[in-house]
Amino acid sequence: MVNQNRIQDQQLKIANSEIPELFYPENFDTPMSLETALYLPELGGTPPHKSRWVTVSTLRSAVSRGDLMCERHGRYIKVTRRYIAEWRENCRAHQNRPACGSDLPARQKLAARSGRRPGSSSTASSNLAPDVLQTMLLELKQH
């Protein structure tokens, strides 16, 4: 029962704080603490609940790696919704696609052109010995 009351108190505190104001479009560049950023929908939060997937530690690590831009106010780290949006965009996995031409990867194109299967050894189908023999026979015929 004590835990339930504490959770309700925290939810009431959050509801009365600045978090709802951060959802307005004009506050896209408003600095906020990393703790407050966890309530943003971009990170999977919905007030009065924090994100389940992103933690303050995740955001601190991204800042220390230089992936997430921040503003430092003394020892406090502040981020904005714009910084978080840019960080998320950079974190997205983009599929590598060919710039032009067919959708076949380069390895398959090369194999199709040479008539060999990818990964097959070229020593088994070497024409070097017959070519040398044929050259020697042509030289003997000319003399």
**Cβ-based neighbour number of residue 79 at 10 Å:** 22
In the 8-state DSSP scheme, what is residue 32? E
pLDDT at position 104 is 53
Decide: pTM greater than 0.75.
no
pLDDT at position 57 is 96
- Find the DSSP H helices in 16-127: 34-37, 56-65, 81-91, 106-114
Tens digits of per-residue pLDDT, 35-82? 999 988 889 888 778 899 999 999 999 999 999 999 999 999 999 999
Q: Which domain holds residue 47?
A: 2-91
Residue 108 domain-assigned (yes or no) = no
Residue 74 domain-assigned (yes or no) = yes
Total structural domains in the chain?
1
CA 116 centroid distance within chain: 35
pLDDT at position 26 is 75
